[in-house]
Chains A and B, each alone.
Chain A
Amino acid sequence: NAGVMQNPRHLVRRRGQEARLRCSPMKGHSHVYWYRQLPEEGLKFMVYLQKENIIDESGMPKERFSAEFPKEGPSILRIQQVVRGDSAAYFCASSAGTKETQYFGPGTRLLVL
């Protein structure tokens, strides 16, 4: 049973470009979460999705950030017009249900030049 998969593992973007981060949950999991880890900090919750629905986006910045989890395919975290402050590790987690344990992927490390 493969774990949570994220790609790319490393992503370099110039200021103003778009970044797309992908997350494939564990098999049988339909709940996906995105967290951001700034350098030297803990993880901060961004958004919680189930298939085709955003359940909680209380941690998402109001502008430039969006997330989706379509019926088919991976969950996508999209950052438009990236700025240097977006440089961070972005982790995806998945769970089998609302009360179930979250399992984390290896993360995507985004560097904005």
Chain B
Amino acid sequence: GEDVEQSLFLSVREGDSSVINCTYTDSSSTYLYWYKQEPGAGLQLLTYIFSNMDMKQDQRLTVLLNKKDKHLSLRIADTQTGDSAIYFCAEKVGGGGNKLTFGTGTQLKVEL
């Protein structure tokens, strides 16, 4: 079945690294995504990873995928106050479907 879970809150100090975790249950996921949502705004695509990859790095963002444990993480290096937002992971399941299944979101708060 489809179920994506995230912890609800994360608080870090400015300049530290943030690690946001996500677990999913569907082993046929093809792509996994990270989106950022600021208050009152839409979803901004941050990065994505194909299911046959273990890691992807894009500037301050590092995505790690453990397919055996169905665990996805997003690491933000040198976290800034502008990174404060809700972060959603989402999976796209194979088998011809194209819908995304989202987690409940992790609210990241960056403190000075």
Contacts and interface: CB of A to CB of B under 8 A. Distances in A.
Contacts of A1: none
A42 interface: yes
Interface in B62-108: 88, 90, 97-105
Nearest to A6: B42
Nearest to B33: A101
Interface string B4-39: 100000000000000000000000001001010000
Contacts, number: 58
Interface residues of B, number: 22
A57 to B, nearest CB: 10
Given A41-B104, A42-B105, A104-B35, A48 B98 contact: yes
Interface string B38-54: 00111111001000000
B42 A106 contact: yes
A105 B42 contact: yes
A46 to B, nearest CB: 9
Given A41-B105, A42-B102, A91-B42, 17 more contacts: A35-B102, A42-B103, A42-B104, A42-B105, A43-B43, A43-B100, A45-B101, A56-B97, A91-B43, A93-B100, A95-B98, A99-B30, A99-B98, A102-B45, A103-B45, A105-B42, A106-B42
Interface of A: 4, 6, 31, 33, 35, 41-45, 48, 55-56, 58-59, 91, 93, 95, 98-99, 101-107, 109
Interface of B: 4, 30, 33, 35, 40-45, 48, 88, 90, 97-105
20 contacts: A4-B42, A31-B98, A33-B100, A42-B4, A42-B102, A42-B105, A43-B90, A43-B100, A45-B99, A48-B98, A56-B97, A59-B99, A91-B43, A93-B43, A101-B33, A101-B45, A101-B48, A102-B100, A106-B42, A107-B41
Q: Which 6 A-B pairs have the closest CB atoms?
A: A42-B102, A45-B99, A106-B42, A104-B43, A43-B102, A42-B104
